[in-house]
Amino acid sequence: MKTNQLILLFALAILPSFVHAQDKFGTRDGIITFFSHAPLEDITAVTHRVASVLVPATGEIQFSVLIKSFEFEKALMQEHFNENYMESSTYPKALFKGHLVPKDGDDLTKTGTYEVGVEGTLTIHGVEKPLSTKAELVVAPNGSITAGCEFHVKPEDHDIEVPGVVRAKIAESIKISVDCKYAKL
Amino acid sequence: MGIEWMYKYTLAAVLLLFGVPVLAQEDLLDLLGEDVAVKSYAGASFKGTRVINGHSLENVAHGVLDFRISHRMGFVNGGIDDFFGLDQATIRLGLDYGITDRLMVGIGRSSYQKTVDGLLKFKLLRQCDAGCSMPLTLSLVASTSITTLRTEQLPWYGEDREDYLTHRLSYNFQAVIGRKFSEGISLQITPGVVHRNLVATEAEHNDLINVGVAGRVKVNKRVAITGEYFYVLPDQGPRGPFHNSVAVGVDIETGGHVFQLQFTNSTGMFERAFITETTGDFFDGDIHFGFNISRVFTVYDPKAKARRKALEGAG
């Protein structure tokens, strides 16, 4: 009896560590661009310092990006973005934690191109919001994974205040695209 | 001994094997190791390249052209007859351009003695924000000014006196040293020397060593209160009717513009004029209301290529 219980407990104990011993994929130089289209001005910014980790077996995915790493075409825009809108000294990073939702029967550990759902929590400007979108995932035979995704974020959802005088210059909804090439960790 | 011990050990093992992976799952990003510190410098210590009259720690960015319009009305103690100074105005129009993020050139034209001034400003040290350790910013300013008044309009005009070009020139050298202490508070100290090629009397020194102090406190994201004071060191000969320069102001930022509203006892808006030739006595009501408007234009985008490449890579 005692021995049986012990074996059972032991088995239970080591089981999860096997489950989690899945291949993990990561990148440090993913790309995020955002695009704001407003009557008076179009604004684009890009960063190529996106950190992300993806676990195909479980679908877990996380992103972290340094707000100050976004580059704009105008130096003053970049200054205002950091100082007045994102307050990047107080909130240095934007984060996403969530998981991929593959279609029934899709196995993301196998080579192929998949359209997947993405569900999780997006943290921008210190404000957490649920995010649900779609992404395309290409699992290459050489073991690398490319992921692309597009979604929209409203500044007001994240308590980012846009004053009246510049409302014609900043879109109500900002398009964000993510492109990451993952390598096995 | 017995079964209790075994349970305890087993429990510990369960926690070890079961619990740890669950925790690790929370921060997958830790797998990527420590964040690579991206070297960056403290920016926007002041809203513009001038605190009010004098230079701030800031330069215009690479490829950016800053058009500055500065006005000083007459003395407010002129009363209603003078509409509190608004009947008169002294103006300086200036253009500053960032050759690099650290080197700025500028040119200006003031109505004060019809003066043209040129300047070079170089950020020798830059206060670190991340990935480095420099605690302060040190910026060197060299500027020169020349009055373009007609000979007979010159203050030193005399019928038998030769009008030498060199007499019209003056120079200014400053080291702006300061630090952005927090998001809202920046302070700087500016030792400098102004050299006048010609002074009014023999007893006056051509070189005047001076120290400026200036600071800004942000009220909110777009509004800040600024102040500056230039102290001409004593024992440098007679100063005539001149006072030290005092200025207090408010900076208001709206998109591409910065409006600076101020009260100052200085009339001129280039260094020789406000450091050595301020006639107003601030505490006697000799105060000018004034404003600076700064409008920036991105003339050249140094990072365009790199950004396009990144975007293509993404495509």
State whether residue A166 sits within 8 Å of chain B by CB. Answer: yes
Question: Are A46 and B21 an interchain contact pair (Cβ–Cβ within 8 Å)?
Answer: no
Identify the pLDDT of residue A128: 96
Q: Which amino acid is at A183?
A: A
Tokens of A148: 């692309």
CATH class of A23-184: mainly beta
Mean pLDDT of chain B: 89
Task: Assess whether pLDDT exceeds 60 at residue B19.
Answer: no
- Looking up residue B186, the CATH number of its domain turns out to be 2.40.160.40
Task: Please tell me the distance from the alpha carbon of residue A101 to that of residue A115, in angstroms, as a whole number.
Answer: 9
Q: What is the pLDDT of residues B101-150, one digit of tens each?
A: 999 999 999 999 999 999 999 999 999 988 889 999 999 999 999 999 99
Nearest to B183 among A16, A73, A89 (CB): A89
Q: What is the pLDDT of residues B238-263, one digit of tens each?
A: 988 899 999 999 999 887 789 999 99
CB B154 within 8 A of CB B63: no
Tokens of B205: 């020194």
Question: Are A75 and B63 an interchain contact pair (Cβ–Cβ within 8 Å)?
Answer: yes
Q: What is the pLDDT of residues A107-151, one digit of tens each?
A: 898 999 999 999 999 999 999 999 999 999 999 998 899 999 999
**Sole residue written with tokens 């205002």:** A80
Identify the pLDDT of residue B239: 86
H or E element, residue A149 = strand A145-153
Structural domain contains residue B19: no
Q: What is the DSSP string of B10-70?
A: HHHHHIIIIIHHHHHHHTGGGGG-SPPPPPEE---SSSSSBSSSSB-S--PPBTEEEEEEE
Question: Are B29 and A51 an interchain contact pair (Cβ–Cβ within 8 Å)?
Answer: yes
Structural domain contains residue B18: no
Domain of B193, in residue numbers:
40-306
Tell me the shortest Cα–Cα distance from A92 to chain B, in angstroms.
Answer: 11
Our count of domains for chain B comes to 1
Structural domain contains residue B213: yes
Structural domain contains residue B157: yes
Tokens of A58: 């479980």
Say whether B306 sits in a helix, a strand or coil.
Answer: helix
